[in-house]
Amino acid sequence: MTTAAEQSRTHGYDDLPRLMGMMTGDEKHGPAATSTLDVLWVLYDRVLRVTPERRADPARDRFLLSKGHGPMAYYAVLAAKGFVPVDWLPGFGSYDSPLGHHPDRVLVPGAEIGSGSLGHGLPIAVGTALGLRAQGRPDPAVWVLIGDAELDEGSNHEAIAFAGPAGLDRLHTVVIDNSSASHALPGGIAARFEAAGWSAVTVDGRDHEALYAAFTAPHPGRPHAVVARVEPKNA
Amino acid sequence: MDTMRDRLAPVVSRLLDEDPRVAVVLAEIGRDGFREAERRHPDRVINVGIREQLLVGAAAGLALTGLRPVVHTFASFLVERPFEQVKLDFGHQDTGAVLVSAAASFDWPAGGFTHMAPGDVALLDTLDGWTVHVPGHPDEAETLLRQAVAAGDDKVYVRLSVQSNGQRRAVDGQHFLPVREGRSGVVVAVGPMLDAVLAATADLDVTVLYATTVRPFDAAGLRRATRAAGTDVVLVEPYLAGTSTAAASEALADVPHRVLGLGVGRRELRRYGTIEEHTAAHGLDARGLQERISRFLDAGRTEPGQG
């Protein structure tokens, strides 16, 4: 049962497995069960300047989840941070639930985009960064999370190739690399971004301090990519 | 006479000056007309290069920050190539934009089939909530472009063509305009098809409705016209034949009716040449229309069983 106290209390990183378990019925979720968990936590806990109260504030930071499948970690973090009521979690995927197996921005408070079809988030993030710049808002950061196999989609490469030369320095991409692309060269992801004029760094996607340092590294004049390496999907 | 597309950059450049919400997104095509606007508004006139998925996705991102993007390229690269972006980045994201296409069904016949998009309106018909304007004159294009930009966050498609009618009509961005009154049939002429339809029906006792906004379909206007002219309906559209047949049938669902959908054929002609040659090949010149409209109306007058 979820009580009013549960709703109002602050949740921490250690609560995330339990919150995810409310969606899957499995209480033993370790971080390894989901590739995005640590990246999402560090972003929402320490980097993104957005809160439930500020979710319509034009000056907020934007986080766009482009890799929309397996969104349990995302919902758990949104619940932990108070965007989504904890008592929504058990309904995950049901007809009356706002929480689907791919998120819908119209239904999920705090979700900046709906996703599910791969390769849409980064182009939308480029437009978001352009829109903020055009309105004289240099402050808000735009973040988009994609997967390494999602980079197969050509739309990403249209966005990557444009954003570097355009100098979109408020744009940030996190690539969760769980070696799930069938055709990829090791080290190729960061090189791809660098070749297009981005700042890029590859870090351990489970190391919170390394992630934080990568997320907050200065990158004047250039968009920034963080490749977060986690356990191979098929290992 | 100048073309509808000649009006695009001047009109939208003025709107850029007047309204800080307006932004223009291009993929190289059409950039020349916006050079001056690009100098004045470098952050709101955006050329993404030859990248049509990004063209649409970035426009959606702009809209999510509160801007009103005007997105322009040829119809085949605006609607067909990035169709899933059009479907999801505007529809599913619950945002909007003004998509302005050029080249239409066969504005550049010598360019061949790669630059023809007769299926654009039919494709948009698979989606919810799009307004579709098909002006038939450069002045009408100006009016409808302004309305499209002013339409809040609506999803609006404006289909520009080098084909146009000799005179402008008073279009309002909503209703079909009765141009001629008759008693035995209704012919709906869409956008640039009006002059050919008027010539084709000069000797026929039909009502001619002029349609420059086809979605939403003016069902009430069509029904009103059928009261005096009967429920034999011919649609003459400058894109894929039959695109609006379902909409017309739905408008007349509770009364016996017949509908003939004329327009561009599905079959790829594999011909170059001129617009006039393609118009005739699809039976959309005055003579081709006159024959097919007459045959359809005559068949409706045949007694049952004599057919």
Section B34-38 average pLDDT: 98
In a domain, B172, yes or no: no
In a domain, B168, yes or no: no
Tell whether B137 and B260 lie within a shared domain: no
Q: What is the DSSP letter of A36?
A: T
CA distance A162 to B270: 35
Using CA atoms, how far residue B303 sits from A25, B186, B257, B298, B299, in Å, is 70, 20, 15, 10, 9
* Phi, then psi, of B241 in degrees rounded to 5: -55, 135
Digit-coded pLDDT (tens) for B71-128: 999 999 999 999 999 999 999 999 999 999 999 999 999 999 999 999 999 999 999 9
In a domain, B155, yes or no: yes
Tell whether B152 and B50 lie within a shared domain: yes
Residue A228 has a pLDDT of 98
Tell whether B150 and B211 lie within a shared domain: no
Residue A29 has a pLDDT of 62
Cα torsion angle, B219, B287, B194, B129, sign: positive
In a domain, B222, yes or no: yes
The reply to whether residue B65 touches residue A128, judged by beta carbons under 8 angstroms, is yes
Residues of chain B contacting residue A106, judged by C-beta atoms under 8 Å apart: 94
The reply to whether residue A127 touches residue B64, judged by beta carbons under 8 angstroms, is yes
ipTM for the predicted complex: 0.96
Coil, strand, or helix at residue B98? strand
* DSSP-derived pairing of the beta strands B207-211 and B177-180: antiparallel
Task: Supply the pTM of this predicted model.
Answer: 0.96
Domain ranges of chain A: 4-229
Does residue B303 surpass a pLDDT of 60? Answer: no
In a domain, B122, yes or no: yes
Contact indicator for B262, B237 with CB cutoff of 8 Å: yes
Chain A interface, best mutation among B51, B84, B87, by max A CB count within 10 A:
B51
Residue B87: CATH number of its domain? 3.40.50.970
CA distance B221 to B39: 44
Cis peptide before B216 (omega within 30 of 0): yes
Digit-coded pLDDT (tens) for B252-292: 999 999 999 999 999 999 999 999 999 999 999 999 999 99
* Phi, then psi, of B104 in degrees rounded to 5: 45, -140
Q: What is the DSSP letter of B288?
A: H
Start-to-end CA span in chain A (Å): 37
The reply to whether residue A124 touches residue B48, judged by beta carbons under 8 angstroms, is no
Per-residue exposure over B180-204, b if at least 16 CB sit within 10 Å of its own CB, e if not: bebeebbbbbbbbbbbbbbebbeeb
The reply to whether residue B58 touches residue A58, judged by beta carbons under 8 angstroms, is no
CA-nearest residue to B49 within chain A is: A162
Residues of chain B contacting residue A104, judged by C-beta atoms under 8 Å apart: 92
Sheet bearing A224-229, strands edge to edge: A62-65, A142-147, A171-177, A224-229, A199-204
Using CA atoms, how far residue B282 sits from A76, B117, B134, in Å, is 58, 14, 19
CA distance A192 to A66: 19
Q: What is the DSSP letter of B136?
A: S
Tell whether B220 and B256 lie within a shared domain: yes
> Based on the number of CB atoms within 10 Å of its own CB, is A216 exposed (0-12), middle (13-18) or buried (19 or more)?
exposed
Does residue B307 surpass a pLDDT of 50? Answer: no
In a domain, B213, yes or no: yes
Residue B258: CATH number of its domain? 3.40.50.920
Q: Is A136 left (phi over 0), alpha (psi -120 to 50) or beta?
A: left
Tell whether B71 and B187 lie within a shared domain: no
Domain count of the fold of chain B? 2
Q: CB contacts < 8 Å between A and B, how many?
A: 104
In a domain, B196, yes or no: yes
Contact indicator for B236, B222 with CB cutoff of 8 Å: no
Tell whether B15 and B155 lie within a shared domain: yes
Digit-coded pLDDT (tens) for B151-174: 999 999 999 999 999 999 999 999
Contact indicator for A156, A119 with CB cutoff of 8 Å: yes
Residue A1 has a pLDDT of 46
Query: In angstroms, what is the C-alpha Rg of chain B?
Result: 20
Residue-range definition of the domain harbouring residue B209: 177-301
Residue B251 has a pLDDT of 98
In a domain, B165, yes or no: no
Which amino acid type is present at position B97?
A
Of B56, B65, B85, the CB nearest to A131: B65
The reply to whether residue B57 touches residue A123, judged by beta carbons under 8 angstroms, is yes
Tell whether B151 and B202 lie within a shared domain: no
CA-nearest residue to A153 within chain B is: B53
Q: Which tokens is A163 given?
A: 């954003």
Tell whether B130 and B194 lie within a shared domain: no
Residue A190 has a pLDDT of 98
CB-facing half-sphere around the CA of B274: CA atoms within 13 A: 4
> Based on the number of CB atoms within 10 Å of its own CB, is B4 exposed (0-12), middle (13-18) or buried (19 or more)?
buried
Q: In the listed set B108, B124, B159, which residue is the last one of a domain according to the structure?
A: B159
CA distance A40 to A51: 14
Number of neighbours of residue A186 by Cβ within 10 angstroms: 8
Q: Does domain A4-229 have CATH number 3.40.640.10?
A: no
Does residue B27 surpass a pLDDT of 50? Answer: yes
Report angle CA A68, A72, A73 to the nearest 5 degrees.
95
Section B209-221 average pLDDT: 98
Number of neighbours of residue B17 by Cβ within 10 angstroms: 12
Q: Which tokens is A189 given?
A: 């992801």
Tell whether B74 and B153 lie within a shared domain: yes
Residue B301 has a pLDDT of 81
pLDDT means over runs of 10, chain A (235 residues) = 55 95 78 86 98 96 95 97 97 97 97 98 98 97 98 98 98 97 93 98 98 98 98 83
Digit-coded pLDDT (tens) for B171-190: 999 999 999 999 999 999 99
